[in-house]
Chain A
């Protein structure tokens, strides 16, 4: 079949090799083909950010990226944040501040925040707001998330 694509990429440090439909997005492949359902599907137009993952160090909406485009890339999803079961500083901070309520937007928020801290280890509250603006949350008022990112930055930076 010509509309399949042979995809080889790394997800959370593990090499994945699979044949996919060329029309499938990275989100489709992560959730349906690989079974990593931590990445969430909501608006599929790049507005809500629930599907945010990190591709080669940059946060992206996996709903707007064909999986084929990730060929050869290094992808990090929420499942990859605590590979050994030990929560990382961001995850712990999100728990400590109570930022996760229903939790559906949290994987996206975490990945956005993670990408921010990788580039900007000591962000200002304004930078955090900018980084989180692409992940909609309907439960909380974003304040607890902002506090969590600040706390994690402190922890990692110190």
Chain B
């Protein structure tokens, strides 16, 4: 087995730091003279702020100052990834539980904490909208002031944005359907729960500012901080230490502008490390309610699919528009459907701002589509696997007209999952099986640059703007470089997380990095290869065309030479290095509803065998099979790790995770005690992860992205197994013992 290069089970680069405690996350970074900040928040969701009295706090020895909106520029600077609507701190009104109304800066954490309690805020609690019903009710209070909204037809409502996608004529098609099933499915709001709570540091840096953040998109942070502070991007240096988990929750700017303003005012470094409770109040994922009609012929052939998807987003636009749109766009899944109608709305509420969470809206719509497809199959008496295989598009066939056609042999993936769960074999008594398919568009646009320096001793440094938040991007890039330059893996270093040093990368999301940044790194290596070729041609006095390079080896008319040997020859006694630059882009298509077609698809099939304790409603997953079409596993250990991790996260989202809001809009289950995620005792009894590798992806050597696949369709697969075992039909998540028990009582 290869131990380096492409396809090797290479050990994680950065792994040693992770097992010795040497890895420095934001909260571990020591800076001289660092001050500590603590947020002042209110124990309510929506409130009008009447006054803020900081005198007692300021009087406490060790307190430097208390930052209030009065200390910020007027009008209040606002920012956001899609809408510039998020204030640096609450501007006269808190719109959600936990929004900062002031912040204390002090010598120590203890003093900052003490002082935060001494800040007296007078406020009037206002009613908080925290459900779709309340937000969409006629005459509902507007969560956002229309004055700061983008003009559009919904400006006088709580609908942030609305999209209509589809093709064919659903109403006409409905007449052709033998069976139509219509149901409503709910997906709760959840939280990303990275084990590292968000942390931020800002420090004056010459005539600019340096910002440290555990962020997935450091280059967007750089741009935002520059804009908010009104300084050139070149004066903002973002350090992005490896995040301790992201899962979407660390994509965009949150409290960094506030910390930056405080550092400027203090003239020295200021640090704000959130508690886990504050992290829950910094970001969450998007709940959704989906009304689905599925029409089929008696033999299971899909006739139409009709969706109304409403996503409950937070009080600011944040990524709500994009998650609802991109999630909904693929509502109909990887199936050949003659007529499809999709209405998608993002709905504002007085709740925590929403970021995507692993899956970007797709798990929500997949829960609805796959569950309803099962309902249709059962109504028609068609096998649940057969209905999927019958309607699944073939390689190269479009499932959404005009978008990227199927980029894999998806039936192969589905058959593998079915085989591994023993579909069609007798189910042991008391057990049930479920199968579901998830499909997600990879990035629809993208831009990544990389620089690779091939050093005189034949080692190499890779510069990449990806955030390595656990997915193992560093290792992948090093493997590519080792492969392309023909050098050992341990002579490659990867530099990330410093916008002053590393060239631009659009973002770390959508399982893009192996493909986009991977291609940029590959192209940088190819640039080095071209330069070596040109120099060799010069030195040898031969035509460049007579020379070729393939994966670390140069072919010359006289024979082969390894690239390290070529490098030595080319650099000669002068030494120096060869620098390669690479770019990878996925251009926007303005006329496309999502602004671009899918660069690739993440396709997963999950099959579950489960048993339900009929007395208590507890679900026990006995066998969990996940099969992903990965194109090529650049590093099989990492592929398995990502796939198993997503599967177990999917189990958590399916069985136990949900944010609970009180009638007053407060989040009741802040933190680890009452927001449950799976422990090592909550796993499927058996978890089997498989990859289909046909080398048909757009990334290096045929790779596709894989990091979200196995949670896209966990929930419908688990619910289907519960139904198969017990007859209980459940359309709300999570499938908590109580909810399953209730469904068992209501069983026909």
Q: Which residues of B contact A141 (CB under 8 A)?
A: 641, 644-645, 647-648, 683, 687
Q: Of all chain A residues, which has the CB nearest B475?
A: A98
With an 8 A cutoff between CB atoms, is A136 at the interface? yes
Kindly provide the distance from the CB of B283 to the nearest chain A CB, expressed in whole angstroms.
Answer: 14
Contact with B along A64-97 (1 / 0, CB 8 A): 0000000000000111011000010001001111
The complex places the Cα of A135 from the Cα of B648 at a distance, in Å, of: 15
Asked whether B195 lies within 8 Å of A50 as measured between CB atoms, the reply is yes
Asked whether B16 lies within 8 Å of A95 as measured between CB atoms, the reply is yes
Q: Which residues of B contact A37 (CB under 8 A)?
A: 21, 24, 27-28
Q: A102-B244, A138-B247 are in contact. List 10 more A-B contacts (CB 8 A).
A: A40-B196, A43-B671, A47-B672, A78-B19, A81-B20, A95-B19, A102-B195, A137-B195, A139-B470, A142-B679
Asked whether A146 lies within 8 Å of B680 as measured between CB atoms, the reply is yes
Asked whether A38 lies within 8 Å of B20 as measured between CB atoms, the reply is yes
The complex places the Cα of A146 from the Cα of B109 at a distance, in Å, of: 37
Asked whether A44 lies within 8 Å of B19 as measured between CB atoms, the reply is no
Asked whether A138 lies within 8 Å of B193 as measured between CB atoms, the reply is yes
Asked whether A100 lies within 8 Å of B245 as measured between CB atoms, the reply is no
Q: Which residues of A contact B19 (CB under 8 A)?
A: 78, 81, 87, 91, 94-95, 100, 103, 106, 110
Interface of B is mostly: loop
The complex places the Cα of A21 from the Cα of B108 at a distance, in Å, of: 12
The complex places the Cα of A142 from the Cα of B197 at a distance, in Å, of: 20
Asked whether B645 lies within 8 Å of A87 as measured between CB atoms, the reply is no
Q: Which residues of B contact A41 (CB under 8 A)?
A: 27, 197, 273
With A43-B276, A48-B672 already in contact, the answer to whether A138 and B649 are too (CB < 8 A) is yes
With an 8 A cutoff between CB atoms, is A17 at the interface? no
Q: Of all chain B residues, which has the CB nearest A43?
A: B672
The complex places the Cα of A68 from the Cα of B224 at a distance, in Å, of: 44
The complex places the Cα of A87 from the Cα of B17 at a distance, in Å, of: 11
Contact with A along B600-644 (1 / 0, CB 8 A): 000000000000000000000000000000000000011011101
The complex places the Cα of A45 from the Cα of B671 at a distance, in Å, of: 9
Point out which of B17, B196, B243 has the most chain A C-beta atoms below 10 A from its C-beta.
B196
Point out which of A43, A77, A103, A105 has the most chain B C-beta atoms below 10 A from its C-beta.
A103
Kindly provide the distance from the CB of B249 to the nearest chain A CB, expressed in whole angstroms.
Answer: 10
Asked whether A101 lies within 8 Å of B193 as measured between CB atoms, the reply is no
Asked whether B18 lies within 8 Å of A100 as measured between CB atoms, the reply is yes
Kindly provide the distance from the CB of A4 to the nearest chain B CB, expressed in whole angstroms.
Answer: 12
With A102-B194, A129-B681, A133-B679 already in contact, the answer to whether A82 and B276 are too (CB < 8 A) is no
Contact with A along B273-297 (1 / 0, CB 8 A): 1011000000000000000000000
With an 8 A cutoff between CB atoms, is A39 at the interface? yes
The complex places the Cα of A145 from the Cα of B14 at a distance, in Å, of: 17
The complex places the Cα of A104 from the Cα of B680 at a distance, in Å, of: 16
With an 8 A cutoff between CB atoms, is A151 at the interface? no
With an 8 A cutoff between CB atoms, is A34 at the interface? no
Asked whether A101 lies within 8 Å of B20 as measured between CB atoms, the reply is no
With an 8 A cutoff between CB atoms, is A35 at the interface? yes
Q: List 14 A-B contacts (CB under 8 A).
A: A36-B21, A38-B20, A40-B25, A78-B20, A79-B20, A104-B25, A104-B194, A104-B244, A133-B679, A138-B649, A139-B245, A139-B641, A141-B687, A143-B644
With A94-B19, A142-B680 already in contact, the answer to whether A101 and B672 are too (CB < 8 A) is no
Kindly provide the distance from the CB of B513 to the nearest chain A CB, expressed in whole angstroms.
Answer: 14
Asked whether B471 lies within 8 Å of A101 as measured between CB atoms, the reply is yes
Q: Of all chain B residues, which has the CB nearest A21?
A: B110
The complex places the Cα of A35 from the Cα of B648 at a distance, in Å, of: 34
Kindly provide the distance from the CB of B2 to the nearest chain A CB, expressed in whole angstroms.
Answer: 15
Kindly provide the distance from the CB of B9 to the nearest chain A CB, expressed in whole angstroms.
Answer: 8
Q: Which residues of A contact B687 (CB under 8 A)?
A: 141, 143
Q: Which 10 A-B pairs have the closest CB atoms?
A: A38-B21, A104-B244, A103-B18, A102-B470, A141-B644, A101-B470, A47-B672, A141-B648, A37-B28, A98-B637
The complex places the Cα of A81 from the Cα of B21 at a distance, in Å, of: 10
The complex places the Cα of A141 from the Cα of B621 at a distance, in Å, of: 14
Q: Of all chain A residues, which has the CB nearest B246?
A: A102
Asked whether A42 lies within 8 Å of B641 as measured between CB atoms, the reply is no
Kindly provide the distance from the CB of A110 to the nearest chain B CB, expressed in whole angstroms.
Answer: 6
Q: Which residues of B contact A132 (CB under 8 A)?
A: 679-680
The complex places the Cα of A27 from the Cα of B720 at a distance, in Å, of: 45
With an 8 A cutoff between CB atoms, is A130 at the interface? yes
Residues in B lying within 8 Å of A, measured CB to CB: 11-12, 14-25, 27-28, 30, 109-110, 193-197, 242-247, 273, 275-276, 469-472, 637-638, 640-642, 644-645, 647-649, 671-673, 677, 679-681, 683, 687
Asked whether B11 lies within 8 Å of A96 as measured between CB atoms, the reply is yes
Kindly provide the distance from the CB of B306 to the nearest chain A CB, expressed in whole angstroms.
Answer: 36
- Give the size category of A's interface with B: 35 or more
Asked whether A138 lies within 8 Å of B644 as measured between CB atoms, the reply is no
Partner of A44, one of B275, B470, B637: B275
Partner of A98, one of B196, B247, B640, B673: B640
Point out which of A39, A77, A105 has the most chain B C-beta atoms below 10 A from its C-beta.
A105
Within A13-32, which residues are at the interface with B (CB < 8 Å)?
21, 23, 31-32
Kindly provide the distance from the CB of A109 to the nearest chain B CB, expressed in whole angstroms.
Answer: 9
The complex places the Cα of A43 from the Cα of B27 at a distance, in Å, of: 14
Q: Of all chain A residues, which has the CB nearest B468?
A: A102
Asked whether B681 lies within 8 Å of A44 as measured between CB atoms, the reply is no
The complex places the Cα of A154 from the Cα of B653 at a distance, in Å, of: 34
The complex places the Cα of A105 from the Cα of B273 at a distance, in Å, of: 17
Kindly provide the distance from the CB of A148 to the nearest chain B CB, expressed in whole angstroms.
Answer: 10
Kindly provide the distance from the CB of A52 to the nearest chain B CB, expressed in whole angstroms.
Answer: 12
Kindly provide the distance from the CB of A32 to the nearest chain B CB, expressed in whole angstroms.
Answer: 8
Partner of B276, one of A44, A78, A99, A102: A44
Kindly provide the distance from the CB of B66 to the nearest chain A CB, expressed in whole angstroms.
Answer: 23
Asked whether B195 lies within 8 Å of A48 as measured between CB atoms, the reply is yes
Kindly provide the distance from the CB of A107 to the nearest chain B CB, expressed in whole angstroms.
Answer: 5
With an 8 A cutoff between CB atoms, is A144 at the interface? yes
With A38-B21, A82-B20, A136-B672 already in contact, the answer to whether A101 and B641 are too (CB < 8 A) is yes
Point out which of A47, A104, A133 has the most chain B C-beta atoms below 10 A from its C-beta.
A104
Asked whether B195 lies within 8 Å of A105 as measured between CB atoms, the reply is yes
Q: Of all chain A residues, which has the CB nearest B196?
A: A104
Asked whether B110 lies within 8 Å of A42 as measured between CB atoms, the reply is no
Asked whether B680 lies within 8 Å of A133 as measured between CB atoms, the reply is yes
With A37-B28, A103-B470, A140-B641 already in contact, the answer to whether A87 and B683 are too (CB < 8 A) is no
Q: Which residues of B contact A82 (CB under 8 A)?
A: 20
The complex places the Cα of A37 from the Cα of B24 at a distance, in Å, of: 8
Asked whether A104 lies within 8 Å of B16 as measured between CB atoms, the reply is no
The complex places the Cα of A32 from the Cα of B242 at a distance, in Å, of: 21
Kindly provide the distance from the CB of B15 to the nearest chain A CB, expressed in whole angstroms.
Answer: 5
Q: Which residues of A contact B20 (CB under 8 A)?
A: 38, 78-79, 81-82, 87, 91
Asked whether A130 lies within 8 Å of B681 as measured between CB atoms, the reply is yes
Q: Which residues of A contact B671 (CB under 8 A)?
A: 43, 45, 47
Point out which of A48, A110, A145 has the most chain B C-beta atoms below 10 A from its C-beta.
A48
Q: Of all chain A residues, which has the CB nearest B469?
A: A102
Q: Which residues of B contact A47 (CB under 8 A)?
A: 671-673
Kindly provide the distance from the CB of A42 to the nearest chain B CB, expressed in whole angstroms.
Answer: 5
